[in-house]
Every structure is written in structure tokens, then in C-alpha cells.
Amino acid sequence: MEIRLELLILFAACGLVTLIPRILPFLLMHGLTLPRLLTEWLSFIPICLLSALFFQNLLLAQSDDYPTLSSLHLAASVPTILVALTSKSLSFTVITGVLSMALIRFFL
């Protein structure tokens, strides 16, 4: 297999482009104290994103008809919601959702 300089430069540029939006806000915000209202508002972003991803996969769009429920995603959402309500941990919730969906797809 041949390693070309152009591909290495392309991979490095892709990595840089994805790292800049992730690291730059931390560097700019270091040492700043945000207002309490803004901090509280920002705390809702993870649950909003998770909810948007959840409902996007749960409801299947039909042409010229109402959306229908995806039975696979509905089955995977039951243990995920239970873990979310009991643990209040975003990490455990995401891990449970991924594992339950993987197990459902593996056995069905």
C-alpha cells in the first residue's frame, strides 16, 4: 500500500478542522465566569440534543401519511428511559441506549 503525502496532509487538515471548534471555545472561555442565567440555559443543551436524536429515530416519516413509530427504537428506548430516570447520568443513558439497540438488532 502506498502512502502519499497528499493524503497525509488531507488527514492532518481534517483533524485540525474538527479539533478547532472543539478546543477553541475552551481556550477562549478559560478564566471567564459566565452569568448564572446563561450557565443554566446551557445546561439544557445536552438533553435537548439527546431528545432531538431520540425522536428523530423513534418516528419514521411516511410519504403523504402521518409518522409511524419504529418498533425497534421503541423497544430500545424502554430500558434507556428507565436508566435515564434512575441514574440521571447522560453517559449511562447513552451507553444503555447503544447497548440495548445493538442487542435488539443482534437478536432480531
At 104 the pLDDT is 94
Say how far apart CA 64 and CA 69 lie, in whole Å: 16
Cβ proximity of 80 and 100 under 8 Å: yes
- 82-104 mean pLDDT: 93
CB atoms inside a 10 Å sphere around CB 6: 7
Residue whose C-alpha cell is 416519516: 61
- 76-99 mean pLDDT: 92
What pLDDT digit, counting tens, does each position of 21-78 carry?
989 888 888 888 889 999 999 999 988 988 888 888 888 887 778 888 888 989 999 9
- 2-29 mean pLDDT: 90
Q: How close are the terminal C-alpha atoms of the chain, in Å? A: 39
At 1 the pLDDT is 65
Q: Does the structure show a pLDDT above 70 at 8?
A: yes
